[in-house]
Amino acid sequence: MERWEIPYRHSVQTALDLLRGRWTVAVLAGLARGETPFKELLASINDVEKRTDRDRMLSNRVLSDTLQRAREDGLIERHAESGNFATVSYVLTPTGRSLLRAIRPLAEWAQGYQADRQADEVDRRGA
C-alpha cells in the first residue's frame, strides 16, 4: 500500500461519514438557497420526492434527527426566533456549503453511471 493511500482513504471515509443517512444530501440541497424554516424544508424535500416518484416521504422526526446530526457535524446552524410562535429555521454553514459543492461532481458521475447501467440493461434485453 502506498503511503498516500492511507490519508486519502481516511479523508474519503470522513466525507462519506458526513453524508451518512438517507436524507442528509436532501437536507443540504434543501438549504442551498438560504435560511429555511423547518416546515418549509420538510415540504420542499417531500415535494422533490413526489416529483421523482419516490415512495418514501421524510417525516418530522427523521428530519429533526438529520438536522441535529448535521448541526453536530458543523454543516448547518439552527436559528430560533423568540416569542410564543417562534419559527425555527436552518442555514448551511460555510463548511456545509463547501461540502455541497464538493459532492456535485459525485452526483454528476452518478447520473452518468445510472445512464450507462440503464443502457446496458436495454442492450441485454434486446440481445
Question: pLDDT digits over 27-70, tens only?
Answer: 999 999 999 999 999 999 999 999 987 778 999 999 999 999 99
Taking a C-beta distance cutoff of 8 angstroms, is the pair 43, 124 a contact? no
CATH of the domain at 41: 1.10.10.10
Q: CA-to-CA distance for 65 and 105, rounded, in angstroms?
A: 27
What pLDDT band is residue 126 in, cutting at 50, 70 and 90?
confident
- Position 90, amino acid: Y
Residue 31, Cβ neighbours under 10 Å: how many? 25
In angstroms, the CA 47 to CA 31 distance is 14
User: pTM of this prediction?
Assistant: 0.83
Identify the DSSP state of 38: H
pLDDT band at 86 (very low <50, low <70, confident <90, very high): confident
User: What is the per-residue pLDDT for 4?
Assistant: 62
pLDDT at 64: 98
Question: How many domains in the chain?
Answer: 1
Phi, psi dihedral angles at 65 (to 5 degrees): -65, -40
Task: Decide if pLDDT at 1 tops 80.
Answer: no
Is residue 127 very low, low, confident or very high in pLDDT (cuts 50, 70, 90)?
Answer: low
Q: Are 66 and 23 in contact (CB under 8 A)?
A: yes
The residue segments making up the domain with residue 45 are 5-126
Q: Are the CB atoms for 87 and 51 separated by under 8 Å? A: no
Please give the pLDDT value at position 32.
96
| Mean per-residue pLDDT over the chain, rounded | 91
pLDDT of residue 33: 94
Cβ contact 39:88 at 8 Å: no
